[in-house]
Chain A
Amino acid sequence: MGISFPPPCTRLRERIVYDDRDTARSLPLMPIVAVDHLSKIYPVAVKEPGLRGTLNHFFRRQYRSIRAVESISFDIAAGEIVGFLGPNGAGKTTTLKMLSGLIYPSSGTVRVAGQIPFDRKTAFLKSMSLVMGQKQQLLWDLPALDSLRINAAVYELSDIEFKQRVGELSEMLALQDQLRQPIRKLSLGERMKAELLAALLHHPKVLFLDEPTLGLDVNAQAAVRDFLRTYNQRYQATILLTSHYMADIAALCQRVLLIYQGRLIYDGSLDGLVERFSPYREVQVELATPVPEAKLRQFAEIESCDRCRVRFLVQRPELTQVVGQILAQLPVSDLSVTEPPLEEVIARLFTTGTVA
């Protein structure tokens, strides 16, 4: 099935930002992250299965190019929290690695905090941080405080700054009691908090987060989200965040970037994303008596059907007409119309082929 892309995003040198009261205002903003036609192509070794494939792989190794990121462009203003969405392998992590100077772009330009990331100048490294949910920088067998002391030495913090920042951040993260325990003795949530503390000890202006809540329970996810929101407000830090949990995105980000097969296909508000990619509503119907599915299908696409409980997916332009028909022709005891959950919108987006 072909993928149809929406019109390419225009670069937003002057974009709409939303304040806390959700009112829109237009401001000319200097981007702290500026990405222009950024691409990354990887060579990947290809191996056929079996002995013959193995011998070929040994003597005549063949490579193919993977276009991980293709000519993406966007700007992020200082203080923004932006969600970076996309299915696995879409190019999110590769983009974050290029933004944080870990890998060299194949083409295009990036500037973060006025610096070219891959130059890895001290001023740049001190102004940003990247937190990877599945990777840890803290020494496994030692208490977090020891690893934090290393970070303080690396970022040349004085003893006073160190104590003050550890105190402040550990209070925000509710982590004071765990700092003296070996990392291996901490729960996953506590470890993630400790990782965040280590990544933010030098008060970075720009924070890249790759799945910071991966594997955490609901409470720990909420705690990390609250912390990120507070950190953003207190230090006017800019945050670019990838997450598979839409609750993270919905709670923190008013703006999202959507990447699919290496290409940026959406840059705008979260509400706009739903409007654009989910032109349907969910109609939940409670029937007085069961009705054959074949008959129900005549009204709209059926999401689920459990005897008397039916969930229809209805295109928005047809909503009024379809609801009218259902009420007129079916034994309805209850009916409600809702927007589908964000998770479902995104999941449909990436699986139905209607990036779809």
Chain B
Amino acid sequence: MNKIWRGWWTLLVVYYAHMVEYRAELLFWILSGSLPIILMGAWVEAAQGDRFSLDAIQFARYFISVFIVRQFTLVWVVWEFEKEVVQGKLSLRLLQPLDPGWHHFISHISERFARLPLVVVLLALFFALYPQAWWLPSFEQAALGGLAIALAFLLRFLFQYTTAMLSFWTERASAIEEMFFLFYLFLSGFIAPLDVFPPVVSQIASWTPFPYMLYFPAALLIGLPVDWGRGLAVIGLWALLLGIVNRWAWRRGLRQYSGMGA
């Protein structure tokens, strides 16, 4: 067990070193994820007329929470994996006695640490410009929100890594991910909090994995009422289902894999 932890730690440290090689790219990438801040402006303006269940400050806090959650749940494994399959680079990973998925997973984790300081600076700048939106989550909100962010990342990673398995057959799994991203945009609470959706839509959404990738942790961070138990159960069920499909597709896909270009 000790050897395994030591191995993971080594991978984390080396991939962290790899990620910080791209500091400028990292900053631009974080800035490109500022869409929630733009949406916040629109929703704060729209909330002036008391037509929604959230007021302007709650909208502002919601979207800044969405920004934070997005920073920790960004996943790009489908593009990386697709490239590895199409260019045959997966072969080099397959030669080693470690499932290639761990390399992707750990490099994502290490990237979180690399972007953390830049995210903190950007948040400080935001609250300096818009101090009305400042809030400090209670210990419970922070703990549950933090846990929900970790689970949201796991779910998002598992979802996209399972989509990535389609690379073995289509070689353009990223196109399918783009289609799923449409559902993600709408149902995850990215465009608008689920509280402003018609009740039927938010009920249907709550059984899909998407709200748990964004809305659920963001709502927990700002103290919106959420069904914590049901959230955990749905995350667990989707994670189990995706895990099973992922491993099945991996085994079938490897038989399909021809190591193109390798």
Contacts and interface: CB of A to CB of B under 8 A. Distances in A.
Q: A-side binding surface: helix, strand, loop or mixed?
A: mixed
A153 interface: yes
Interface residues of A, number: 33
A132 interface: yes
B21 A150 contact: no
Given A130-B95, A142-B18, A152 B10 contact: yes
Interface in B73-98: 88-89, 91-92, 94-98
B38 to A, nearest CB: 33
A25 interface: no
B257 interface: yes
A42 interface: yes
A120 interface: yes
B257 A103 contact: yes
Interface residues of B, number: 27
Contact of B14 (A103, A125, A132, A142): A142
Most chain A CB within a 10 A radius of its CB, from B91, B95, B259 = B95
A146 B254 contact: no
A125 B10 contact: no
B205 to A, nearest CB: 35
A100 B262 CA distance: 12
Interface of B: 3, 6-8, 10-11, 13-14, 17-18, 21-22, 88-89, 91-92, 94-98, 254-255, 257-259, 262
27 contacts: A101-B94, A101-B95, A102-B91, A103-B257, A103-B258, A104-B255, A120-B94, A122-B97, A125-B96, A128-B95, A130-B91, A132-B92, A135-B88, A136-B92, A137-B92, A139-B14, A139-B18, A141-B18, A141-B22, A149-B10, A151-B96, A152-B10, A153-B11, A154-B97, A155-B96, A156-B3, A156-B7
Interface of A: 42, 93, 97, 100-104, 118, 120, 122, 125-126, 128-130, 132, 135-137, 139, 141-142, 146-147, 149-156
